[in-house]
Amino acid sequence: MHYTDSINYELEQTGRLLKKLSQQLFRKLGTDISPDEYVTLDTISINDGICQRDLAKLILKDRANTGRILDSLEMKEFIERYIDTKNNRLVKKTRITEKGIEKLENVNNTLKTYINGTVRKISSDEVEKVKNVIKKFRINLGKSVKINI
């Protein structure tokens, strides 16, 4: 069997295409937010008060890249960072602002049409099955991959 016949190859190629599509869409839509900033903002919106280290794990970026993304989002006033304690230590936590919520909703509404277009020839049942299988695959893969964050 060749690597190009594996599920790993199919997922890797699909991931690359999705990344290119999102970059093209964000440029075309003229949003003042990058795909990485969008994913980060969305992740913060459902993980209020998350610290940079935990956020980095969720978005699979190193802490330096995560910090740069957070700096940009903070400069645009989409998030705010504040000092809190975690395990009796001071940590910087992050929360989304009202302006960030508005931006996220705006981008979500705009992207919805494009996202729906990528799966229009696939039934909703098939989409759910694929999503569940990919999630299982990602979880199993995550057990084998060492990520230094």
Q: What are phi and psi of 127, to 5 degrees?
A: -60, -45
**Gyration radius of the chain over CA positions:** 17
Amino acid letter for position 123: S
**What pLDDT, in 10s, does the model give residues 88-105?**
889 899 999 999 999 999
**Residue 84 placed within a domain:** yes
- pTM equals 0.85
| pLDDT at 33 > cutoff 90 | yes
**Residue 149 placed within a domain:** no
| pLDDT at 42 > cutoff 80 | yes
d(CA 39, CA 41): 5
**What pLDDT, in 10s, does the model give residues 48-64?**
999 999 999 999 999 89
Please give the tally of structural domains in the chain.
Answer: 1
**Residue 104 placed within a domain:** yes
Domain that includes residue 122, residue range: 3-144
**Residue 102 placed within a domain:** yes
d(CA 52, CA 85): 13
Mean pLDDT on 108-126? 85
Range among 80-84, 118-122, 143-147 with highest mean pLDDT value? 80-84
**Residue 94 placed within a domain:** yes
Exposed/middle/buried for 133, CB within 10 Å: 0-12, 13-18, 19+? exposed
Tokens of 110: 């705009």
**Residue 12 placed within a domain:** yes
**Residue 98 placed within a domain:** yes
**Residue 139 placed within a domain:** yes
CATH number for the domain spanning 23: value is 1.10.10.10
